[in-house]
């Protein structure tokens, strides 16, 4: 299985999207210096040569411009059935809103008293951030919590969505 990727410019650096066998397999935030995180991903490709890659680039670009709220892409998860269940739950969290780990656990039919931490771990293992919106999960106290892209990027994504959802325009 060969993964090809393209790089999408974002206000906070280069976002990398990887595709393999007709499905999006990776979305990666940039390195600390803003450069694309392409380590061990495969070969850079021209999106024009792969319709799934082209659509992923189009949708990510539209999302970052505040023009897309819901992604419609074929996705390939890498994780246990439990993690996949959590990631499916993340996709149901509406644009411009947040949820907590406990509420997410409840939404996917789990007992939040015993699974909130495992839900948090699954959230942190999401290899398709933005598309599978793990940035929409916050702590029970309303505080921003860990995020693979860093808390500042999480804050930026939530602010973008809040501004667009309120009709105030884009932040970027």
Pick the catalytic residue from 19, 75, 104, 134.
Answer: 134
φ, ψ (nearest 5 deg) of residue 79: 170, 170
Q: Delimit the domains of the chain by residue range.
A: 4-64, 81-166
- Phi, psi angles (nearest 5°) of residue 44: -70, 140
User: What is the pTM for the complete model shown?
Assistant: 0.92
Annotated active-site residue 134? The verdict is: yes
CA 172/CA 57 separation, integer angstroms: 18
Q: Which residue's structure tokens are 């380590």?
A: 39
Q: What CATH architecture is 81-166?
A: Orthogonal Bundle (1.10)
- In this prediction, residue 50 carries a pLDDT of 96
3-state helix vs strand vs coil in the chain, percent to 5: 40, 15, 45
pLDDT, tens digit only, all 172 positions of the chain:
678 999 999 888 899 999 999 999 999 999 888 888 888 888 999 999 999 999 999 999 999 999 999 999 999 999 999 999 999 999 999 999 999 999 999 999 989 888 888 999 999 999 999 999 999 999 888 888 888 888 889 999 999 999 998 887 665 5
How many whole angstroms separate alpha carbon 91 and alpha carbon 95? Answer: 9
Residue ranges of E strands in the chain: 4-10, 13-20, 23-28, 43-44, 99-100, 137-138
Integer Cα distance of 12 and 9 in angstroms: 8
Tell me the CA distances in angstroms from 29 to 100, 119, 151, 158, one per residue in order.
22, 21, 12, 15
């Amino acid at each position: 299985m060969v993964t090809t990727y393209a790089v999408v410019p974002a206000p906070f650096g280069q976002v990398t999207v990887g595709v393999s066998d007709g499905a999006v397999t990776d979305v990666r935030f940039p390195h600390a210096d803003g450069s694309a995180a392409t380590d061990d991903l495969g070969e850079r490709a021209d999106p024009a040569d792969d319709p799934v890659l082209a659509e992923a680039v189009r949708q990510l670009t539209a999302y970052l411009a505040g023009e897309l709220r819901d992604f419609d892409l074929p996705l390939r998860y890498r994780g246990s059935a439990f993690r996949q269940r959590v990631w499916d739950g993340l996709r149901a969290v509406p644009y411009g809103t947040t949820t907590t780990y406990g509420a997410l656990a409840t939404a996917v039919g789990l007992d939040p008293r015993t699974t909130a931490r495992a839900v948090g771990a699954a959230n942190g293992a999401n290899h398709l951030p933005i598309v599978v919106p793990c940035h929409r999960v916050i702590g029970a106290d309303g505080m921003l919590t860990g995020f693979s892209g860093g808390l500042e990027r999480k804050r930026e994504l939530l602010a973008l969505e809040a501004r667009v959802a309120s009709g105030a325009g884009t932040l970027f």
